[in-house]
Homo-oligomer: A and B are copies of this chain.
Amino acid sequence: MNKRKTPHYNQGTHSAIWRENLNATIFGAETRAGKSFDILLIFSISISVLSVMLSSVQELNLKYATLFNYLEWFFTGLFTLEYLARLIAVRKAMLYARSFFGLVDLLSILPSYIALLMPGLEYFLIVRILRLLRIFRIFKLVEYVDEAETLITALKNSYHKILVFLYTVLTIAIVFGSLLYVIEGSAAGFTSIPKSIYWAIVTLTTVGYGDIAPQTPLGQIISASIMIMGYGIIAVPTGIYSSELIKTHQATPISNHACPSCGELGHDSDASYCKYCGENISPD
């Protein structure tokens, strides 16, 4: 149903049938070629990301440096071709190039060329790590999953409530973190207020590294109450999101047409008459 739509920038151009086909293959998922292209791309991205990740393991890098290098150049070539194909397939190339996914596409092939142009720069970690941005490209391909939309809609609807919740969490962390900074002091690892707040967040979210832990009885009593608080207020975002998702499920959609007679809104989409003034509001 909710398939990814092919951007028809080039409709009506007579000589551009090959371009339209290319477009459907690269951007669409309806055609057989489009589907194969998507699967191949997901596979390539996965291998490429895995290769970047593994090349950061020293033992592996010493052994397989050449392999990682070859793989990197292979994928850089592949993704460069794909990037060019995308630029050709759409009519307004600049529009694509400046879009979020266009930038991600460019940024994730750039590091290899930078290393070529400015030798030595490839030793900068940050340059090499840029290639991991490729992972985002899969989202472009899975965006047709209908389910994601429901999840994101519910998230957007509960956005304000979640912000209020996050601000409350932060305030609790600041207040209790400062409190334990006063009570525990440097000896137990609470060396500054920001560090104590860090500890409070570690505790409140039930992560609990244990690198900093209260030593005094009073500190432990207050910590225990932070934990129980954190254990309890997890219920708040869960409740917000659950009720939002359930609302989405149960929603009998409401029409966004105002009554032509009284101008009131909020009519159910199956309504034939305005529920306020009785005016006929059926579309035909």
Instruction: Tell me how far the C-beta of A219 lies from the nearest C-beta in chain B, rounded to whole angstroms.
Output: 10
Contact: A181 with B129, CB < 8 Å?
Answer: yes
State whether the Cβ of A91 lies closer than 8 Å to any Cβ in chain B: no
CB-CB under 8 A from A198, the residues of chain B are 220-221, 223-224
Contacts of A165-183 to chain B: CB distance below 8 A = 165-167, 169, 171, 174-175, 178, 181-182
State whether the Cβ of A284 lies closer than 8 Å to any Cβ in chain B: no
CA A41 – CA B111 in complex, angstroms? 44
- Which listed residue, B58, B151, B164, B197, touches A142 by the CB 8 Å rule? B164
Interface residues on chain A, size class: 35 or more
Contact: A265 with B268, CB < 8 Å?
Answer: no
Contact: A237 with B235, CB < 8 Å?
Answer: yes
- Which listed residue, B57, B148, B163, touches A192 by the CB 8 Å rule? B57
Contacts of A259-277 to chain B: CB distance below 8 A = 260, 263, 265-268, 270-277
State whether the Cβ of A136 lies closer than 8 Å to any Cβ in chain B: yes
CA A81 – CA B264 in complex, angstroms? 47
A166, A191, A270, A278: most-surrounded residue (chain B CB, <10 A): A278
CB-CB under 8 A from A232, the residues of chain B are 162, 165-166, 237
Main secondary structure of the interface of A (DSSP, over half): helix
CB-CB under 8 A from A203, the residues of chain B are 207
Q: Scoring A residues 145 to 168 as 1 if CB is less than 8 Å from chain B, else 0, what string do you get?
A: 111101100110000111111110
State whether the Cβ of A244 lies closer than 8 Å to any Cβ in chain B: yes
State whether the Cβ of A241 lies closer than 8 Å to any Cβ in chain B: yes
Contact: A265 with B256, CB < 8 Å?
Answer: yes
The interface stretch among A16-24, A47-55, A62-70 is: A47-55
State whether the Cβ of A118 lies closer than 8 Å to any Cβ in chain B: no
CB-CB under 8 A from A132, the residues of chain B are 174-175, 178, 193
Using known A-B contacts A125-B182, A154-B239, A280-B278, determine if residue A147 contacts B135 with beta carbons closer than 8 Å: no
- A-to-B contact residues, CB < 8 Å: 49, 52-54, 56-58, 125-126, 129, 132, 135-136, 138-139, 142, 145-148, 150-151, 154-155, 160-167, 169, 171, 174-175, 178, 181-182, 191-195, 197-198, 201-211, 213, 217, 220-221, 223-224, 227-228, 230-232, 234-249, 256, 258, 260, 263, 265-268, 270-280
8 tightest A-B contacts by CB? A273-B278, A207-B208, A209-B210, A271-B275, A205-B231, A239-B241, A56-B193, A235-B241
